[in-house]
Structure 1
Amino acid sequence: MTAAATDSRALTVHLLERGLIDADDEIDISPLTGGVSNDVVAVRGQRCDFVVKRALDRLRVEQTWLADPARLDTEGRALRVAGSVIADRVPRVLDLDDGYLVIERAPHRWRMWKEMLLDGVVHQHIAEQLGRALGIWQRETAGNAVVAADFADRTAFVQLRLDPFHRAVRDRHPDLAVPIDRTVSAMDQAAVCLVHGDYTPKNVLVDPDGADLWVIDWEVAHLGDPTFDPAWILGHLLLKTLHRPVVAPGYAAAARVFLDALTRTHDAAIDLDPEQLIRQTGCLLLARVDGKSPVDYLDDAARDRARTWARRLLMNPPVTVTDIWELSS
């Protein structure tokens, strides 16, 4: 939570009522930064150290962007499902009640994978772990009737992904409407497995050596298209390539390691449409320069090049999505 948004007294009362702190605990409530869709605070005391999230109905971006705060319940339920499949790749849910999500806090030395990538540090084993974890989550939730029923609602996904990304860039680039609409139509028809919906480097917390990691922020999780999450990773590795071209071989290698681990782990249980994956990557690459939440680390020249790459992926796609690194070098 931001300092202005935090109602420390109300939060303290809530934590007491839920038995998460004792009346005599001396706690420190401090805001955590990095997101636009939630208020997030760290709560620390002699006997507690956890994170509390509360969803915003209006996101912190320049353009008007509204979303249903009920997505916080989706995040809590998705974390529990993900943790039941792979216990050590997500934080534990400590409590979910009355609009508050309380989760385990990562070790203090951990950092966002995004920060490492922006610094030009590319650990291939992180990419491999992310591909393997995603493959397991997709494989184990495909055909699961309980998951299908619990995550059928795509309201948050539409509000936080389709509208501000795919549909926003389609309106800005009408000549790309056909491939973008085709991508969206394929997503509308896909109900294959649990989709994280924001499987990006900023939502991966890693230890300094990259030996351990968590995937966080599952608020737009839904039953859907298995190409969406890998496209998010690939698109962000392309963006980092534009930011640090000298490290392009490392980012390209990470993309291939990630995809290889993902498809091997699927063990033929998931049909990952290569054409949809290419189009999806193009849409998401374009969305991060011309959508409602553009990345803040590219200069104008890099943004123009991102548009060129996205157009290539959408209008004249390569044989495989990772070929874009060779074609653009």
Structure 2
Amino acid sequence: MTAAAACDTAALTAHLVARGLTASPAGVEIHPLAGGVSNDVVAVRAPGLDAVVKQALGRLRVAEEWLADPARLDTEGRALRLAGRIAPGSAPEVFDLSDGYLVIERAPDSWVPWKQQLLEGTADPAVAGRLGSVLGAYQRATADRDDVLREFGDVTAFGQLRVDPFHRTIAARHPDLAEAIGHTVDVMAASRVCLVHGDYTPKNVLVDPDGERLWVIDWEVAHVGDPTFDPAWTIGHLLLKTVHRPAAGAGFAAAGRAFLTAFTESIAGALPIDPAQLVRQTGCLLLARVDGKSPADYLTADERPRVRDLARRLLIDPPETITDAWELLA
């Protein structure tokens, strides 16, 4: 560990003891975890505690400057608690949220990110369907609720971590698409409908070896907003994996259909889903993962132009439904 990491470790240990999460510094083991670009994440094992602890960064770990308010950690903790109440077992338990630390339940060692399975070419439709059902439950339970809007009405972190580095960045880099992207942003900004996770992607889904259970993690940009945003990000990432692993494309398409079918059945008509906005949002996501501030690191030089071309088609000449996007890759 670096000197900074050692200081952070000492501070964290003192915090855990002060909060009563463990009795003393003796026996506390802290190990850095591979995480995203926006947080410091560690695993903690101590007498009576097996947890993951997060601290939000003010400057994200990307090549370009990307700043965000660390107060989003509080949003994440509150959103995790709400998700657990809506769909028990769909998110880790929150043990503590205080003083800039979020302490949550740690998944069993045998669980893996769904992204890992997809990159290996395995797309279980049952997992995709379960993920769609859970998303539908979140949206149905929070649609048009004033109390949820009061608690998650702030879109500052969503703007800093999604709209600015993704939508607005690609609009500036593709002026001919600025009108379509701007329309997507305008519709999104006017849609204050239900709880939106804001990063409902395979890297934020942990699954057990049998695919029977899953957790949705990383709720730091949760807000009340556009119900098409989260399904677009799931479908968009399945399309990215199709470009990266074309031999598994049929499986990714099947997973996409299973996800959308289960999602639609789960919301049960409780809120509107605009298919045109869903297509546009997916196009924006695809373009952002090649030309935004956080490009997908697994795409090769040959794959990035294919993603870019697909994104442009979704924004300029959109198909009727988002599942038709797989035919555009054929």
TM beyond 0.5:
yes
- Conserved in 1, the CA contact under 8 Å of 2:54 and 2:102? yes
Letter in 1 for 2:249: A
Q: Report the CA distance between 1:209 and its aligned residue.
A: 1.9
Letter in 2 for 1:205: L
Letter in 2 for 1:183: T
Structure 1: state its 5+ residue gaps. none
Partner of 1:192: 193
2:33 & 2:99 partners in 1: Cα distance? 21
Partner of 2:310: 309
2:253 & 2:2 partners in 1: Cα distance? 36
Summarize deviations over 1:11-51 as a string: whole Å, max 9, x none.
11111110001026411100001311000111002321101
Q: Report the CA distance between 1:3 and its aligned residue.
A: 7.8
Partner of 1:234: 235
1:87 & 1:4 partners in 2: Cα distance? 37
Give the 3-state SS of the residue equivalent to 1:89 in structure 2: coil
TM-score (norm 2): 0.98
2:11 & 2:182 partners in 1: Cα distance? 45
Partner of 1:319: 320
1:24 & 1:60 partners in 2: Cα distance? 30
Q: Report the CA distance between 1:61 and its aligned residue.
A: 0.4
1:250 & 1:72 partners in 2: Cα distance? 35
Letter in 1 for 2:12: L
- Conserved in 1, the CA contact under 8 Å of 2:44 and 2:52? yes
Give the 3-state SS of the residue equivalent to 1:294 in structure 2: coil
Shift in alpha-carbon separation, 1:24–1:3, aligned structure 2, 3 A: closer
Summarize deviations over 1:220-271 as a string: whole Å, max 9, x none.
0000000000000011001000110000000001111100100111111010
1:33 & 1:3 partners in 2: Cα distance? 19
Letter in 1 for 2:255: A
Letter in 2 for 1:248: G
1:157 aligns with 2:171: no
Partner of 1:245: 246
Partner of 1:142: 143
Structure 2: state its 5+ residue gaps. none
Give the 3-state SS of the residue equivalent to 2:296 in structure 1: coil
Partner of 2:27: 26
- Conserved in 2, the CA contact under 8 Å of 1:25 and 1:47? no
Give the 3-state SS of the residue equivalent to 1:87 in structure 2: coil
- Conserved in 2, the CA contact under 8 Å of 1:2 and 1:39? no
Q: Report the CA distance between 1:144 and its aligned residue.
A: 1.6
1:239 & 1:3 partners in 2: Cα distance? 38
Partner of 2:292: 291
Partner of 2:46: 45
Give the 3-state SS of the residue equivalent to 2:302 in structure 1: helix
- Conserved in 2, the CA contact under 8 Å of 1:3 and 1:31? no
Summarize deviations over 1:119-177 as a string: whole Å, max 9, x none.
00111100000000000100000122211100010000000000000000001101000
1:9 aligns with 2:7: no
Partner of 1:72: 73
1:128 & 1:189 partners in 2: Cα distance? 29
Partner of 1:262: 263
1:327 & 1:296 partners in 2: Cα distance? 23
Partner of 2:177: 176
% same residue:
63
How many residues get paired? 329
1:80 & 1:142 partners in 2: Cα distance? 17
